[in-house]
C-alpha cells in the first residue's frame, strides 16, 4: 500500500521517527488477506485525504511487521491506534464508517494532552 494517496506504509525502522516527528498519527494495522481490512482501507483513504495537512495516516502490514503488531498486542484486524504527541490516545480493533473515523480525527485534534498526561500519571501512581 506504499504510496497510495495520503496514507503511507510504515516499517518497524520508520516507526519511532514517524511518531516522534508528527503531532498526530493514525496507524492502521492490516493484512492483505483480511477482507474487512480492505473495506476499511477505502474509508481510511477517503478520510486521510481530507486531513492530510493536519494528521498523518499510516498503515502497518502485520504480515511484514510482526514486531510492531506484537508491541501493540494486535490480536484482530483491522486495528486502529492513534498517537498524539507520542502517546497512544486510542486503540481499538474493527472497521468504522467515514463519519465515525472523522469524529475520531476531530477528537484527536482537540484532545488536551495536559489532561491525558495527568490521567496517565494518576494511573501510574
94: in domain: yes
Sheet-wide strand order for 24-30: 7-9, 56-61, 24-30, 79-84, 87-93
2: in domain: no
Please tell me which residue in 10, 24, 27, 34 is annotated as part of the active site: 34
3: in domain: no
- Does residue 19 have a pLDDT over 60? yes
pTM for this one?
0.89
In whole angstroms, give the CA distance from residue 84 to residue 49. Answer: 19
Average pLDDT score over the chain: 91
61: in domain: yes
pLDDT, position 66: 93
89: in domain: yes
- Does residue 2 have a pLDDT over 70? no
54: in domain: yes
72: in domain: yes
The total domain count for the chain is 1
pLDDT, position 23: 94
CB 47 within 8 A of CB 24: no
34 assigned to active site: yes
11 assigned to active site: no
Q: How confident is the model at residue 118 (pLDDT cuts 50, 70, 90)?
A: confident
* % residues pLDDT > 70 (the chain): 94
Whichever domain contains 119, its CATH number is 3.40.30.10
- Does residue 108 have a pLDDT over 60? yes
Domain that holds residue 80: 8-123
- Does residue 20 have a pLDDT over 80? yes
Average pLDDT of the segment spanning 56-71? 95
Please tell me which residue in 37, 47, 80, 81 is annotated as part of the active site: 37
Amino acid at each position: 500500500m506504499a504510496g497510495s494517496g495520503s496514507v503511507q506504509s510504515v516499517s518497524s525502522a520508520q516507526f519511532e521517527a514517524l511518531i516522534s516527528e508528527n503531532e498526530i498519527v493514525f496507524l492502521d494495522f492490516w493484512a492483505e488477506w483480511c477482507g474487512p481490512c480492505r473495506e476499511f482501507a477505502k474509508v481510511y483513504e477517503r478520510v486521510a485525504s481530507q486531513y492530510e495537512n493536519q494528521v498523518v495516516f499510516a498503515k502497518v502490514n502485520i504480515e511484514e511487521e510482526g514486531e510492531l503488531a506484537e508491541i501493540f498486542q494486535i490480536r484482530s484486524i483491522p486495528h486502529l491506534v492513534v498517537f498524539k504527541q507520542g502517546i497512544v490516545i486510542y486503540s481499538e480493533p474493527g472497521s468504522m464508517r467515514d463519519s465515525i473515523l472523522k469524529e475520531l480525527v476531530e477528537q484527536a485534534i482537540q484532545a488536551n494532552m495536559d489532561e491525558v498526561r495527568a490521567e496517565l500519571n494518576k494511573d501510574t501512581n
